[in-house]
Amino acid sequence: MIFEIKQPKIIVLILLLILNIAKSYSQTYLEAAPKAGEGAILLLKRYDLDRYDCNLDQFYKLNKLSKNAALLVGKNYKLPIEIKKYDAKSIRTTLNINELETAQRIERYNNKQLQKGIKKADFKTNKELWLPYHFLHCDKLPPTLTPKNRNFAIFGEKNSTVALKSQKLEQAVYYIVSGHGGPDAGAMATFQNKNICEDEYAYDISLRLAKLLLEQGALVYLINRDQDGIRESEFLPCDADETVWENQEIPLDQKERLTQRSDVINELYEKHKAQGTEYQCLIEIHVDSRNQSQRTDLFFYYEPHQTADFQLANTLQQVFKQKYKKYRKSGEYKGSVIARDLHMLRETRPMATFIEVANIQNAADRQRIVIPQNRQLIAEWLLEGLLENY
């Protein structure tokens, strides 16, 4: 028996097969409608996409719009966010990428949109992973973060330009507090026949650490502020012109002084928490004062019974332990991690650690703070620990 093959039916089947294959490889994009007064940039800003020029270019391309075209209120436009089906294993296997850091950034992005209420369900629950265009397709730094636009006068004229070297900490907020300041100079000692003060050296280390954190993409608040900038001299003159964030005068009373700082930090913390920021960290830097004969290695305090605080302090301490083993002739390091009930640990909401960098009274210990390169090394080693803890 001979079967007759009808050509039109075969053609239809082939076309259906091609369409199904094409559909399986098609890209699905999130859509959104602009609100009154929103152009492309403000619409993208709502989804945290505005910092990259490539997102804006892709938005125009997806919607076949000319650059700077006006948007219609209420009309849906494709956003440069692909909707991917999560494979229930990992982001890397879902997207077929190898870079753990990129996968972590994508996960933080999805979590942030969920916390903001823009995303309605966790991607692990509804298997809907959002992939912003810039994570895999942009090879340039966002324009708002390029060196020419990142000038911070607080670091002084020679150090005001801060290059963005990575975005490892782009979802993190750090609060840097240098001990004392204003009417309270902190510990004092004699160096080169002149008085030196704890607050000046703690502040210089704080500035250096803040600059390094900014280079890694973090948002950084210097809670104590001065106009001295980063200084490259051994002798840092004492002064009393420091202020607290938003140009507040520092009170003389110690309790008022500490409460002022913790209130500022907590207000900023709640602001960023409401915006979906998960990782917020407080670093307080001090210079200790003990008997002249007593040497101390850099050590850390944490709030009792706070696991995150202990982990932070312990991670930082381990970095210093490794560095001392490598660079100190004896290889010894006796810096400790100690639980202590201190106002700036107890009354502040971010995870926190309180650091004592040296005994200002001991001549050998003083080398750790008076030599500018040593102040820089302390900041660099702290950064290394903070990156590891993140």
Residue with tokens 């009154």: 36
Query: pLDDT, tens digit, for every residue of 120-144?
Result: 999 999 999 999 999 898 755 454 4
Give the range among 5-9, 191-195, 373-377 with minimum mean pLDDT. 5-9
> 331 to each of 288, 296, 359, 366, how far by Cα in Å?
22, 15, 20, 19
261: how many CB neighbours lie within 10 A of its CB? 25
Mean pLDDT along residues 258-286: 94
Query: d(Cα 34, Cα 201) in Å, to the nearest integer?
Result: 50
* Residue 176: partners with Cβ closer than 8 Å, 6 or more residues away: 206, 209, 210, 213, 220, 221, 222, 223, 283, 285
Q: State yes or no: pLDDT of 224 exceeds 60.
A: yes
Confidence of residue 276 (pLDDT cuts 50, 70, 90): confident
Query: d(Cα 129, Cα 95) in Å, to the nearest integer?
Result: 10
* pLDDT greater at residue 363 or residue 165: 363
Mean pLDDT along residues 276-293: 95
Query: Chain-centre distance of CA 31, in angstroms?
Result: 29
Domains of the chain, each with CATH number or no CATH: 25-137 (no CATH), 143-389 (3.40.630.40)
Q: Over pLDDT 90: what percentage of the chain? A: 74
Mean pLDDT along residues 26-42: 88
* The overall pTM is greater than 0.85: no
Residue with tokens 């001990």: 179
For the chain, the maximum distance between any two Cα atoms, rounded to a whole number of angstroms, is 115
What region does 127 belong to: left with phi over 0, alpha with psi -120 to 50, or beta? left
pLDDT score, position 151: 86
Mean pLDDT along residues 179-197: 95
Query: d(Cα 115, Cα 256) in Å, to the nearest integer?
Result: 34
Nearest to 240 by CA among 285, 179, 184: 184
Confidence of residue 52 (pLDDT cuts 50, 70, 90): confident
Q: State yes or no: pLDDT of 2 exceeds 80.
A: no
Confidence of residue 9 (pLDDT cuts 50, 70, 90): low
Run of H or E including 114: helix 100-116
Structure tokens at 106: 């994508």
pLDDT score, position 292: 94
Confidence of residue 333 (pLDDT cuts 50, 70, 90): very high
* pLDDT greater at residue 45 or residue 77: 77
- Let me know if 274 is exposed, middle or buried by CB neighbors in 10 A (0-12, 13-18, 19+): exposed
Mean pLDDT along residues 25-48: 87
* SS3 assignment, position 267: helix
Nearest to 272 by CA among 353, 386, 164, 350: 350
Query: d(Cα 96, Cα 84) in Å, to the nearest integer?
Result: 12
pLDDT score, position 11: 56
Helix axes 372-389, 363-370, angle to 10 degrees: 70
Which stretches does DSSP call E strand in the chain? 29-32, 77-85, 128-132, 172-178, 188-191, 194-197, 219-222, 224-225, 243-244, 248-249, 279-288, 299-302, 337-339, 351-359
Mean pLDDT along residues 68-86: 94
**Mean pLDDT for the chain?**
89
The span from the first CA to the last CA of the chain, in angstroms, equals 74
275: how many CB neighbours lie within 10 A of its CB? 12
Query: d(Cα 60, Cα 271) in Å, to the nearest integer?
Result: 32
Structure tokens at 190: 């004699």
Q: What is the DSSP string of 269-294?
A: HHHHHHTT--EEEEEEEEEE---TT-
* pLDDT greater at residue 42 or residue 86: 86
Query: d(Cα 387, Cα 381) in Å, to the nearest integer?
Result: 10
